[in-house]
Amino acid sequence: MTNPLIPGLAIVAVDVVVWRARLPANDLARLFIRLALFFLFSWVLFSSGLSPFTQAPYLDVVELHWLGQVLEIIWWLMGARLLTLSLDTLLLPRAWRKQRLFSDVFGAVVFLAAAVAALGFVLELPVRGLVATSGALAIVLGLAIQSTLSDVFAGIVINTTEPYAIGDWVTIDDVEGKVVEMNWRATHLLTGQGNTLIVPNAVAAKAKITNNSRPGDVHGLSLVLEIEPEARPKTVLDALGRALTGCNVILATPAPYARMKRTTANSVQYEVVAFVSDMNQKLAVSSELFDLCYRHLASADVALRALGVPAPAVTSRDEKEALLKRVSLFDSLSGEEVTRLAKCLSRHEYQENHQILAPDTVPDSLSIVHSGVLSVSIAESESSREIARIGPGEAFGEAGLLAGLSMRVSIATLTPSVLFQLSKDDMTSFLKDHPEVAKQMCQLLAYRQDKLGRLVTPMPAAQKKGHTLFQWLLETVWNRHSLNDESENK
């Protein structure tokens, strides 16, 4: 081939189009096309005597000579780029390709070598002097960018040892976040507040790193509670153990546990540790578990108070009244009304695995959990499935007591439990004086029927016409408890 400039430039143009337009979309197919173009480009150059290892010919025609020089330099740069892409696509693991560190560093070295080779072979510049000068310059630059170089080498160590990867939830220097990018300088974390935190690789390499995503199916969470030193440790640990039992979202294996962590001048620290299968559950489960700990400690008469402040004077109080004040159903009652209703409560103690409510039965009383954990299950084909667990301060049975609806669930104790129950006659007498409580109970029942309608007997279709669920329930309660006269007076 006498003049390779035109086909050479055409091949380079096609390669640029393939590179910039990303045609085809598949990375591997695009790489092979570019490799084929490079080999064709090399054949065109070498077959016409235009070698990248010597100066270009056409010394008598300056324009052709410089175009040949440009093609030879492009050959070196194109070869360096394809060598980098081949290593990145064919040899590096997928995790390393995502992190880009090795490919970036290797690409920089290859391009530097290609540039030096092009200067030496194509332009015939004194490379030895250039290398010596660049060595001195490199020492000066190295001293000036020590921190950047330390980040680069630390990044190489991190990518080699792989303490974390993109997508992992990690804690670096007490900062937790999701790894969204790893490059030659830093690791980028997406924190729980939605902010991006940039941790230099040199800092990450020296820090204590906790990878919360390994193993992938177990993620721990920990709560530290400071309890007044007057509380007996066994009482506190038993209450915390019941709180762990009451959370059915945590894993049974590894087993959750509660322990006394340490003592201080003002309190005793207790730690509650549990495990979940999904990292995204940690925040919600931590909040739920803290609420359970609070309620079970309150049922055990362990007060949570501001530390460093003297404990309040012990005053006698009725446990029934204290329980009613923790039930949201009776928030609107005054102190005298709570005292009157508390006198109607009867105490019942149950051992572990005792069935409180059988499926398809109509509860004749309202039950309020004082202590312990109960399991709510629903029958499915030949087995049953647990759908919830209830603990101190929660009530059940209002569907049967108020509207005569049967429950499709089974409720049994998981731990020794204490319940206080309010019978239908006592409830009727109380509702006649406080019909606003009946409305609140109907609202609660309507909400549960709307969310968990299949757990109780559906509302009769004949009653649905022209009525909302709340209206039908309210009419049913008024009739069932003979509140018609009182409603008119109200």
pLDDT tens by residue, 192-247: 788 899 999 888 888 888 888 877 778 889 999 988 888 899 999 999 999 999 99
pLDDT tens by residue, 461-487: 444 455 676 777 777 777 777 775 544
pLDDT band at 345 (very low <50, low <70, confident <90, very high): very high
Q: What is the pLDDT of residue 486?
A: 46
Q: In this structure, what token pair is assigned to residue 171?
A: 């804690």
Q: What is the pLDDT of residue 183?
A: 80
402: closest CA among 455, 474, 346?
Answer: 474
Distance CA 275, CA 233 (A): 23
Distance CA 12, CA 7 (A): 9
Percent of the chain clearing pLDDT 70 (strictly above): 84
Length of the chain: 490
> At residue 315, does pLDDT exceed 80?
no
> At residue 426, does pLDDT exceed 70?
yes
Distance CA 309, CA 482 (A): 51
> At residue 102, does pLDDT exceed 80?
no
User: Angle CA(423)–CA(455)–CA(422) in degrees, nearest 5?
Assistant: 10
**246: helix, strand or coil:** coil
pLDDT tens by residue, 131-152: 655 665 666 565 555 677 788 7
> At residue 490, does pLDDT exceed 50?
no
pLDDT band at 413 (very low <50, low <70, confident <90, very high): very high
Q: In this structure, what token pair is assigned to residue 451?
A: 């969310």
Q: What is the pLDDT of residue 419?
A: 95
pLDDT band at 374 (very low <50, low <70, confident <90, very high): very high
Please tell me the least confidently modeled range out of 305-309, 327-331, 378-382, 426-430: 305-309
Please tell me the least confidently modeled range out of 227-241, 271-285, 400-414: 400-414
Task: Give phi and psi for 249, each to the nearest 5.
Answer: -90, -25
Beta-carbon contacts of 453 under 8 Å, excluding residues fewer than 6 positions away, are: none
Q: What is the pLDDT of residue 132?
A: 57
Distance CA 313, CA 56 (A): 99
CB count within 10 Å of CB 315 equals 5
Q: Which domains does the chain have, with CATH numbers?
A: 5-144 (no CATH), 162-211 (2.30.30.60), 219-299 (3.30.70.100), 320-489 (2.60.120.10)
> At residue 111, does pLDDT exceed 80?
yes
Alpha helices in 228-331 (DSSP H): 233-245, 282-299, 319-326
Are 221 and 176 spatial neighbours (Cβ–Cβ below 8 Å)?
no
| Strand residues in 111-195 grouped as ranges (E) | 169-172, 175-182, 186-191
Percent of the chain clearing pLDDT 90 (strictly above): 22
pLDDT tens by residue, 32-86: 999 999 999 999 888 888 888 888 887 788 888 888 889 889 999 999 888 888 8
Higher pLDDT, 227 or 431: 227
Are 243 and 293 spatial neighbours (Cβ–Cβ below 8 Å)?
yes
> At residue 89, does pLDDT exceed 80?
no
Higher pLDDT, 308 or 227: 227
Distance CA 304, CA 297 (A): 8
Q: What is the pLDDT of residue 140?
A: 59
Q: What is the pLDDT of residue 371?
A: 92
Higher pLDDT, 89 or 227: 227
Higher pLDDT, 316 or 270: 270
Q: What is the pLDDT of residue 462?
A: 42
Give this prediction's pTM.
0.62
User: Angle CA(342)–CA(344)–CA(350) in degrees, nearest 5?
Assistant: 90
Q: Tell me what the pLDDT averaged over the chain comes to.
A: 81
Q: What is the pLDDT of residue 355?
A: 93
CB count within 10 Å of CB 490 equals 10
pLDDT tens by residue, 126-136: 766 656 556 65
Higher pLDDT, 124 or 168: 168
